[in-house]
Chains A and B, each alone.
Chain A
Amino acid sequence: MTNPVQAPALVELKAVNKHYGPLHVLQDINLQVTKGEVVVVIGPSGSGKSTLCRTINRLETIDDGSITIEGEELPKEGKALAALRADVGMVFQSFNLFAHKTILENVTLGPIKVKGVSKADAEKQALALLERVGVGHQAAKLPAQLSGGQQQRVAIARALAMKPKVMLFDEPTSALDPEMINEVLDVMVELAREGMTMVVVTHEMGFARKAADRVVFMADGQIVEEATPDEFFTNPQSSRAKDFLSKILTNG
């Protein structure tokens, strides 16, 4: 492995298993993410990438193994779990902005309700974040009035407003029209530069090369290969990875 870990991992998965009925969707997953690291998870459809991502804030439960954040085991449920989720930002493929709330309210809701920030402070911070992701002038609109790319940037701002320790992205650009992909990736590259710890499920090789410290390749519920982006894309070791790369490369 290219990243011998000295510092205690910010996120650590140890021997994690999960089944959906007979389907062994996560098979003995071991993964460490250190502070400031950007890990890209890549792999064929159905290989378990989303499931892996979602177990890290326990939107999916696991059968056995352990997941820790800053050394603390994920709480099973209740207030403690909610508090942990506040520290783990998540950006979904389908944006999932709160449809009945304005863009500004989408970003202020968490800080106000979960962290007890005053409305005035939350709005000030939210406007700054919206400005930063380039949708400051849309604050009063409803999500449906924005383009997909704009919505996804708002979703990133919403997650950032909680000042998370780590951000999870599950295919953040795959629901977007091609011309909007870069505006979202640019925001993510910027985040990575600023030192945000990120786990990103994506097939965007450009992003992986520009921003990732490590690529994790998954197939059939297993982590098959881990390498730097350069190594992985130019010299994949496993036949599964070679096969997969040849497919996404030819498909553009």
Chain B
Amino acid sequence: MNVIIDNSDLFLTGFKNTGILFAISAFFALILGTVVAGMRVSPAPAMRAAGTFYVNVVRNTPLTLILAFFALGYPKLDLPEISFMNAAIIGLSLYTATYVSEAIRSGINTVSVGQSEAARAIGLPFMQTLTLIVLPQAFRSVVPPLFSVFIALLKNTTVAAGFSVLEAGAIRAYLSERGEPLLPGLLWVALIFVVLVLGILTPLQRYLEKKWRVAR
């Protein structure tokens, strides 16, 4: 218990930054992932190709490389400066969006084609067919895989520690600098992650699943 009390500043800042990284990246990943999923079912071949290209390239690149690019490569380009924190958010969002997109696309495939045909038949254009009819139904079946993606994102935030962001994954390094025993510190970090997942994400998932239970 001493480790966490003596170093509460470290734990607080660390998990606060983890929370910020997670929440903002999840938000942008959800939006971007939904857009990319939409592109991949679009009637326009160029849109489909662009969406597929993005997913295949980014999803198959290790997260560390993506973050390294934004933290180390990007500043060398002649572009506006960004903080390590923002670089991490951009990298995590772009990476996670590919998984969100695939989860949503699988959800779109569970919506029968009859639904979009009926929407087109009353004169709804593609965008409205997607946003009014298909996506609301796709989201319902997509809650469990989407939460797996977000739990992975929560854990992936620790990779940002390697790029000078003081988040939960960096706590260990700081503890050892302060001469604290490593194992208890690590166990505390792990425990807090489990509590975050079981205490916040899982109940939220259960709530959404119940609320959006598909009526068939």
A residues whose Cβ falls under 8 Å from a Cβ of B: 57, 59, 77-79, 82-90, 92, 94, 96-100, 109-110, 113-114, 142, 144-145, 155, 158-159, 162
Cβ distance B111 to chain A, nearest Cβ, rounded Å: 8
Contact A98 B117 (CB under 8 A): no
**Complexed CA–CA distance, A83 and B121 (Å):** 10
Q: A113-B132, A144-B216 are in contact. Are A96 and B125 (CB under 8 A)?
A: no
**Complexed CA–CA distance, A142 and B137 (Å):** 13
Contact B122 A99 (CB under 8 A): no
**Complexed CA–CA distance, A82 and B130 (Å):** 14
Please name the 9 residue pairs, one residue from A and one from B, whose CB atoms are nearest each other, closest first. A86-B123, A110-B122, A96-B118, A96-B114, A90-B121, A114-B123, A82-B125, A85-B123, A144-B215
- CB-CB under 8 A from B112, the residues of chain A are 96
- Contact flags (1/0) for B85-98 with A, using CB distance below 8 Å? 00000000000000
B199 at the binding interface (Cβ < 8 Å): no
- CB-CB under 8 A from A109, the residues of chain B are 122, 124, 132
Q: A79-B125, A100-B137, A114-B123 are in contact. Are A59 and B43 (CB under 8 A)?
A: no
Q: Which residue of B lies closest to A79 (CB)?
A: B125
Contact B117 A113 (CB under 8 A): no
**Complexed CA–CA distance, A97 and B114 (Å):** 9
B119 at the binding interface (Cβ < 8 Å): yes
Q: Which residue of A lies closest to B125 (CB)?
A: A82
**Complexed CA–CA distance, A145 and B215 (Å):** 9
Cβ distance A135 to chain B, nearest Cβ, rounded Å: 17
B120 at the binding interface (Cβ < 8 Å): yes
Contact A96 B117 (CB under 8 A): yes
**Complexed CA–CA distance, A57 and B120 (Å):** 9
Known: A82-B120, A158-B122. 12 other contacts (CB 8 A): A59-B120, A85-B122, A90-B118, A90-B121, A98-B118, A99-B216, A100-B137, A109-B124, A113-B128, A113-B132, A142-B215, A162-B122
Which of B118, B119, B140, B214 counts the most A-chain CB atoms under 10 A from its CB? B118
User: How many A-B contacts are there with CB distance less than 8 Å?
Assistant: 72
Contact A57 B137 (CB under 8 A): no
- CB-CB under 8 A from A158, the residues of chain B are 118, 122
- CB-CB under 8 A from A79, the residues of chain B are 125
Q: Which residue of B lies closest to A114 (CB)?
A: B123
Within 169-216 of B, Cβ neighbours of A (below 8 Å) are at 214-216
B115 at the binding interface (Cβ < 8 Å): yes
- CB-CB under 8 A from B119, the residues of chain A are 98
Cβ distance A87 to chain B, nearest Cβ, rounded Å: 8
- CB-CB under 8 A from B31, the residues of chain A are none
Contact A94 B114 (CB under 8 A): yes
Q: Can you identify 22 A-B contacts, CB atoms within 8 angstroms?
A: A59-B117, A59-B120, A77-B43, A84-B123, A85-B123, A88-B121, A90-B121, A92-B114, A92-B118, A94-B114, A96-B115, A96-B117, A99-B115, A100-B137, A110-B122, A110-B124, A113-B124, A113-B128, A114-B123, A114-B124, A155-B118, A159-B122
Contact A86 B118 (CB under 8 A): no
Contact A98 B123 (CB under 8 A): no
Cβ distance B41 to chain A, nearest Cβ, rounded Å: 15
Within 114-167 of B, Cβ neighbours of A (below 8 Å) are at 114-115, 117-125, 128, 132-133, 136-137, 140
**Complexed CA–CA distance, A94 and B216 (Å):** 13
Contact A78 B125 (CB under 8 A): yes
Cβ distance A113 to chain B, nearest Cβ, rounded Å: 6
Q: Which residue of A lies closest to B119 (CB)?
A: A98
**Complexed CA–CA distance, A240 and B115 (Å):** 35
**Complexed CA–CA distance, A90 and B114 (Å):** 12
Which of B112, B121, B140, B215 counts the most A-chain CB atoms under 10 A from its CB? B121
- CB-CB under 8 A from B214, the residues of chain A are 99
Contact B121 A85 (CB under 8 A): yes
